[in-house]
A and B are shown apart, each in its own frame.
Chain A
Amino acid sequence: MLGKDPSKSRRLTVAHDEIIGITVDGCSYEARLGETVLTALRMANGHVHSFEFYPEKRAGFCLMSACQDCWLWHEDGRRLRACTTRAEDGMTLVTLLPEHC
Chain B
Amino acid sequence: MSTTAVIIGAGPAGMAAAEMLVHAGLHPTVLDEGGQPGGQIFRKPQAQLQRPLEKLYGFDAARARRVNATFASLRSKIDYRPGIQVWAVGNEILHLIDDSGSSVQAWTHLIVAPGAMDRIAPVRGWTAVGLYSLGGAQIALKAEAAVIGRRVIFAGSGPLLYLVAYQYAEAGVDVAAVLETGHPFAQIARLPALLSGGRLFARGLYYMAALRKRGIPILTGVRLQEVIRDSDDRVTALSFRHRGMEQVESCDAVALGHGLRSETQLADLLDIEFSFDAVQRQWLPKTDQDGRSTASNIYLAGDGLSIRGSEIAEASGRLAASALLHDIGLPAPSKVERDRRTMRSAARFREALERTFAYPHEEVAALPDDVVVCRCEGLSAGAIRQTVERCGEADINRVKAFCRVGMGRCQGRLCGAAAAEIVAAASGTTIESVGRMRGQAPIKPIPLAELVRSRP
Contact = CB atoms under 8 A, between A and B. Distances in A.
A53 B377 contact: yes
B51 interface: yes
A51 B234 CA distance: 14
Given A10-B147, A51-B127, A33 B414 contact: no
A69 B233 CA distance: 15
Contacts of B171: 6, 12
B174 A7 contact: yes
B410 interface: yes
B375 A34 contact: no
Given A5-B172, A67-B410, A10 B46 contact: no
Interface string A12-53: 111111100000000000001111100100110011000101
Contact of B146 (A39, A57, A78): A39
Nearest to A48: B129
B140 interface: yes
A54 B378 contact: yes
A10 B378 contact: no
A59 interface: yes
Interface stretch (B131-139, B153-161, B352-360): B131-139
Nearest to A43: B146
B150 interface: yes
Given A66-B414, A69-B376, A13 B51 contact: yes
B117 interface: yes
Interface residues of B, number: 50
Main secondary structure of the interface of B (DSSP, over half): loop
A64 B45 CA distance: 13
A96 interface: no
A62 B133 contact: yes
A67 B146 contact: no
B37 interface: no
B444 A62 contact: no
B47 A16 contact: yes
Nearest to B174: A7
Contact of A58 (B127, B149, B172, B263): B127
Instruction: Give the dominant DSSP class at A's interface.
Output: loop
A67 B131 CA distance: 13
A6 to B, nearest CB: 4
Contacts of B376: 68-69
Contacts, number: 146
Specify which of B117, B118, B140, B232 lies most central, judged by the most chain A CB atoms within 10 Å of its CB.
B140
B378 A11 contact: no
B48 A14 contact: yes
B441 interface: no
A56 B149 CA distance: 20
A16 B117 CA distance: 30
Given A56-B233, A62-B118, A14 B45 contact: yes
A63 B48 contact: no
A16 B118 CA distance: 31
Given A53-B378, A60-B132, A78 B447 contact: yes
Given A14-B49, A57-B233, A60-B136, A39 B172 contact: no
A70 to B, nearest CB: 10
Contacts of B145: 11-14, 35
Given A10-B146, A68-B376, A57 B136 contact: no
Contacts of A66: 117, 263, 410, 413-414, 444
Interface string B311-350: 0000000000000000000000000000000000000000
Nearest to A40: B146
A69 B120 CA distance: 15
Contacts of A60: 132, 136
A84 to B, nearest CB: 8
User: A18, A68, A78: which has the most chain B beta carbons within 10 Å?
Assistant: A68
11 contacts: A6-B147, A14-B45, A34-B45, A39-B144, A47-B232, A60-B132, A62-B132, A62-B135, A63-B139, A67-B414, A71-B409
Given A11-B146, A58-B233, A86-B46, 20 more contacts: A12-B141, A14-B50, A17-B48, A32-B48, A32-B146, A34-B45, A35-B46, A35-B144, A46-B234, A47-B129, A58-B127, A59-B129, A59-B130, A60-B132, A62-B132, A66-B413, A67-B413, A68-B444, A69-B410, A79-B447
Interface of A: 5-8, 10-18, 32-36, 39, 42-43, 46-47, 51, 53-54, 56-69, 71, 78-79, 81, 86
Interface of B: 33, 40, 45-51, 117-118, 127, 129-133, 135-136, 139-141, 144-150, 171-174, 232-234, 263, 375-378, 408-410, 413-414, 444-445, 447, 449
